[in-house]
Amino acid sequence: MNKGLNRKYWFAMLSVVVMVFSVSNVFAQKVSVQVSANKVQVGSPFQIVFTANAQPSTYTPPNFKDFDIFSGPNTSQSMQYVNGAMSQSFSISFLIAAKKEGKFQIGPMVFSFNGANFNTNPVNIEAVKGAVPAGQQQQQTQTAQNPNEQSSPVSSGDDVFVKTTVSKTKCYIGEQIMVTHKIYSRFDLRGFQNVKFPAYNGFWSQQPEGVPNVQLQIESLDGVNYYVGEFNRTYIFPQRTGDLTIDPTEVECVVRKQSNKKPRNIFEQFFGGGGFEDVVVKALSKKIKINVMDVPEAGKPVNFSGGVGSLNYKVEASKNSVKANDAFNLKITISGKGNLKLLEAPKLTLPESFENYEPKISENISNVGGVSGSKTYNYLIIPREPGEFTLNSLDFSYFDLDKKKYVTIPSPELKITVTPGDGKSNAAAQVFDHLKQEIKETENDIRYIKPGNFELQKRDSEFFNSSLHLFLLAFPLILFAGGLTYRAYYIKQNSDVVALRGRKAASFAKKQLVNAEKQMKQNNKEAFYTEVTNALNSYLGNKFNIPVADLSKDNIIKELQLRFIKPETQIKLFDTINQCEYAKYAPGAVSGDLQSVYNNTVELISSIESELKNV
């Protein structure tokens, strides 16, 4: 009996658990729907995705009677565990395109979970005139494209282009201009890359912080719809007058267009052609001219520092009472909308005993919707003399663009009480006061000029810039120029071989006589006379440019006479030549001292050289 009751108990408990689980599972289901765009072009594919947080037992798609289905249903499922809890997602997607213009509603997708049905919300779609006629555009299939296949080119004429617009083309110098860059594409714009912005020559430019979030919209231009995305916005301020030019902007756009590739499988044949592919198109904007006018000269305030826009002005002093030689801060704040970053620091007109330093500048400028904010100048001021002072010459002037005239904002009267200092500060104030009194007594530019005649003495000159210093600086250049001159002379002298041989004839002959002297010391008569003969022939041939084959007595006499060599020298020369020739063929019959022959030969060559120099 107890066993039967236990079985019934456990069976009832199991039934309750299953029921609870089923009920909780049914009530936990969530479904949703998303579309890539609610406003589409006729014939331009877009995606619709139905999602559930669990896999349904069955599902019923809506009726796409007003749309062409290019792909789908495409199902996907994902599952993940986070901190021990499991979550899953099941999605069904379709790639569809509107058949005609109008407003349509896509009905709900019906998901079934254990017999319970869950419906997604209906989706409203507005179809407008397509940039590409319906029926000519086919959607790319889910199959990946072959990267090695070439895509058909896309021109960047009316299909894809960049448009640069400015808030105004005629402005004043320093006036803010907003420059907007947009991409227009009749194809599905997937992205852009390699953007080359203009240099903005003649302008000071400021771009908004952060990376712009490009939102594509459909815009009608001359009756044609384009995908349009603003990818940059810049604020520029002209810094000079005249006609300034904003150069073109170049962008590489990635667009999705119909592919001309042949279908690779039965699915592409069924859906038509090779589907769609992404291609890169270069787009270039047009130049824009800006006419910049100068601010009017009429009525320009003296304290105008270049401020243009709509500005406010505020002056504050950190203290109204201060001791001499103690410091206080003068804070000037310029705020509003305009060329704040280009403003110069205001020029202060302070009492003579007030010393001021360059201001510390801080900025709080925003670029959202235009350059605006505030710029603060903090001046450190030290009064050196006690007394009551009023700062009342700190007005600020700017050119108001709305009123087209100058506006001067008066500064409040700031009364500063300077009390005497104590200790070192008081001593410093007295020194400053004494110096100031001396300066006030000076009525002329130059004082204490000594009258009458007096002598001027030159101060000790320094080495720097002295004559010696300049000479030492120029000496390397002089030395270098001299070296170049000598090198040119040397090359010229040695380029004439005949003249060189003539100049070197005596030295060549004397080198050969050295060999004759060696033979003389060894008492080798035949070799001695041979060397002496060779030395004389070498000398005469080199000196008078006579070839060895033409070295005859007649030729030698002719050259000697042309150069006015003395007759006695000629006789002595031929006697020596004959003696040497005779000794070569009859050495035993020759008598005489070899030393005297050697000395006569050396003297003979020296005599000829001396007589040639005197000619």
pLDDT at position 39, please? 86
pLDDT at position 24, please? 42
pLDDT at position 460, please? 58
pLDDT at position 497, please? 59
Pair (282, 330) in one structural domain: no
* Percent of the chain whose pLDDT exceeds 70: 74
The average pLDDT across 246-252 equals 89
pLDDT higher than 90, residue 7: no
pLDDT at position 38, please? 85
Q: When comparing pLDDT for 551 and 602, which is higher?
A: 602
CA neighbor of 271 nearest in space, from 127, 143, 131, 132? 143
The CATH number of the domain holding residue 106 is 2.60.40.740
Residue 587 CB: number of other CB atoms within 10 A? 14
Pair (391, 323) in one structural domain: yes
pLDDT at position 86, please? 57
**Residue 420 DSSP code:** -
Q: Alpha-carbon distance 238 to 295, whole Å?
A: 12
pLDDT higher than 50, residue 1: no
Pair (284, 384) in one structural domain: no
Residue 554 CB: number of other CB atoms within 10 A? 8
In-domain check, residue 187: yes
Q: Alpha-carbon distance 232 to 182, whole Å?
A: 7
> Position 557: which residue type?
I
**Per-residue exposure over 102-124, b if at least 16 CB sit within 10 Å of its own CB, e if not:** eebebbbbbbebeeeebebeebe
pLDDT higher than 60, residue 511: yes
pLDDT at position 439, please? 46
Pair (203, 283) in one structural domain: yes
pLDDT higher than 80, residue 248: yes
pLDDT higher than 60, residue 270: no
The CA distances from residue 494 to 88, 181, 476, 502, 536, in Å, are 100, 75, 27, 11, 24
In-domain check, residue 240: yes
In-domain check, residue 115: yes
**pLDDT by residue (tens digit) across 388-409?**
988 877 888 889 988 888 998 8
Residue 493 — pLDDT band, cuts 50, 70, 90? Answer: low
The average pLDDT across 273-294 equals 82
Q: Please answer whether residues 391 and 368 qualify as being in contact, where contact means their C-beta atoms are separated by less than 8 angstroms.
A: no
Q: Alpha-carbon distance 510 to 521, whole Å?
A: 17
> Position 243: which residue type?
D
The average pLDDT across 457-464 equals 65
pLDDT at position 172, please? 92
In-domain check, residue 230: yes
Look at 46-50, 71-75, 258-262, 338-342 and tell me which has the smallest mean pLDDT. 258-262
- Give DSSP secondary structure letters for 22-69: HHHHHHT--EEEEES-SEEETT--EEEEEEESS--SEEE----TTEEE
Pair (362, 288) in one structural domain: no
In-domain check, residue 520: yes
Q: How many domains, the chain? A: 4
pLDDT higher than 60, residue 297: yes
In-domain check, residue 151: no
End of a domain among 233, 258, 292?
292
**Identity of the highest mean pLDDT range in 39-53, 128-142, 152-166, 269-283:** 39-53
pLDDT at position 8, please? 54
pLDDT averaged over the chain? 76
Write down the pTM of the prediction. Answer: 0.45
Q: When comparing pLDDT for 442 and 320, which is higher?
A: 320
Residue 449 — pLDDT band, cuts 50, 70, 90? Answer: low
The average pLDDT across 80-92 equals 64
Pair (312, 224) in one structural domain: no
Pair (309, 282) in one structural domain: no
Residue 412 — pLDDT band, cuts 50, 70, 90? Answer: confident
Q: Please answer whether residues 76 and 49 qualify as being in contact, where contact means their C-beta atoms are separated by less than 8 angstroms.
A: no
The CATH number of the domain holding residue 427 is 2.60.40
In-domain check, residue 491: no
Residue 147 — pLDDT band, cuts 50, 70, 90? Answer: very low
For residue 324 the two structure tokens come to 């001499």
| Residue range of the domain that includes 328 | 303-436
Pair (312, 346) in one structural domain: yes
**pLDDT by residue (tens digit) across 162-198?**
889 999 999 999 899 999 988 888 877 777 778 888 8
Q: When comparing pLDDT for 555 and 175, which is higher?
A: 175
Pair (279, 308) in one structural domain: no
* Percent of the chain whose pLDDT exceeds 90: 7
In-domain check, residue 471: no
pLDDT higher than 90, residue 570: no
Residue 17 — pLDDT band, cuts 50, 70, 90? Answer: very low
Residue 588 — pLDDT band, cuts 50, 70, 90? Answer: low
pLDDT at position 103, please? 92
The average pLDDT across 6-28 equals 50
Residue 346 — pLDDT band, cuts 50, 70, 90? Answer: confident
Pair (178, 268) in one structural domain: yes
Q: Please answer whether residues 93 and 72 qualify as being in contact, where contact means their C-beta atoms are separated by less than 8 angstroms.
A: yes
Residue 376 — pLDDT band, cuts 50, 70, 90? Answer: very high
Pair (376, 423) in one structural domain: yes
Residue 355 CB: number of other CB atoms within 10 A? 14
Residue 25 — pLDDT band, cuts 50, 70, 90? Answer: very low
The CATH number of the domain holding residue 552 is 1.20.120
End of a domain among 109, 128, 147?
128
Pair (317, 284) in one structural domain: no
